[in-house]
Amino acid sequence: MSTVNIAIDGPAGAGKSTIAKMVSAEMGYIYVDTGAMYRAVALYITENNIDDASIENELKNADISLKFVDGSQRVLLGGRDVSELIRTPEISMAASRTSALPAVRAYLFELQKKIARENNVIMDGRDIGTVVLPNADVKIFLTAAAEERASRRYKELAEKPGHPAYEEILKDIIQRDYQDMNRETAPLKQAEDAVLVDTTELTLEQSADAIIKVIKEKI
Ligand code: DC
């Protein structure tokens, strides 16, 4: 029996993970956050001081895996749950940089394909509809204006002590967009057959509803 695969791609901060979680709960599918896998690789490289030239060899020992607890994804690095550790601005930037390396992409590509072969998934990332699951049943490209993405992130962080300024968040978002869209291997771009959903003017609920509507029309 073949599995149902839904691809959601888009830039950092467009709301992919929050919205994909809502949609997967509604559909009863597993939600796979591929960005977390790139972040786990970045953490591995950072913790072990691995240089770019040795990555291909060293990745064989990385042992990155996912586990799902009550439908929610946890990322394991050598069996250690690093789901929270990978959410720092340093690891965001490191993941954006190391995800451009073909050896890193090849390693995670295999892992992602296997999960999608074995499960009904909503998989989010940058190259899911274009490279990882080119035959996905539904492809969505989720985006929003950079200023809106920065202001959402700012509101999320505003309560925490020592939070970054809005301008700094916006600068990081613009830099990550540029790196993700302009790398040679599997850059961020909309697949030709993906449906574009722009959430600049939408609430989370409206965005999730728009996506569920697209999915129900296609499946
Ligand atoms: O979605 P995120 O911000 O957690 O992703 C972290 C970085 O990983 C992002 O800057 C680009 C990279 N990434 C990627 O290249 N391909 C994916 N499918 C997912 C993430």
The CA–CA distances, whole Å, from 110 to 182, 185, 208 equal 23, 15, 29
pLDDT tens digit sequence for 152-208: 999 988 888 888 999 999 999 999 999 999 999 999 999 999 999 999 999 999 999
Dist CA 97 CA 101 (whole Å): 8
pLDDT at res. 186: 94
Residue 55 pLDDT > 70: yes
Q: Looking at 134-165, list the stretches that DSSP marks H as alpha helix, in order from N- to C-terminal side.
A: 146-157
pLDDT of residue 26 exceeding 70: yes
Q: Cα(17)–Cα(33) distance, rounded to whole angstroms? A: 7
Please give the distance, rounded to the nearest whole angstrom, from the Cα atom of residue 1 to the centre of ligand 1.
Answer: 30
CA distances to 37, 71, 154 from 76, in Å? 9, 16, 28
Q: How many A from CA of 33 to the centre of ligand 1? A: 9
Cβ of 125 below 6 Å from ligand 1: yes
**The pLDDT of residue 70:** 78
What b-and-e string marks burial along 4-31, b requiring 16 or more CB atoms within 10 Å of the CB?
bbbbbbbbbbbbbbebbbbbbeebebbb
Using a cut of 0.85, tell me whether the model's pTM lies above it.
yes
Nearest CA to ligand 1 atom 15: 99
> Of the residues 44, 109, 126, 156, which should be mutated to test ligand 1's pocket, given the most ligand atoms within 8 Å of the CB?
126
Residue 69 has pLDDT above 90, yes or no: no
Q: Tell me the CA end-to-end span of the chain in Å, nearest whole number.
A: 16
Contacts of 213 (CB under 8 A, 6+ apart): none
Res 159: pLDDT: 85
Q: At what angle do helices 166-182 and 89-98 cross, to 10 degrees?
A: 20
Q: Of 37, 158, 156, which Cα lies nearest the Cα of 86? A: 37
Tokens for 207, please give them: 């965005």
In single-letter form, the type of residue at position 137 comes to D
Q: How high is the pLDDT of residue 104? A: 96
* Single-letter residue type at 90: E
Q: What are phi and psi for residue 195, nearest 5 degrees?
A: -90, 130
Name the token pair of 153. 């992130």
Long-range contacts, stretch 111-114, CB < 8 angstroms, 24+ apart? 111/37, 111/64, 111/65, 112/32, 112/34, 112/37
In the sheet where 80-81 sits, what is the strand order?
Answer: 64-69, 72-77, 80-81
Mean pLDDT of all residues in 35-62: 95
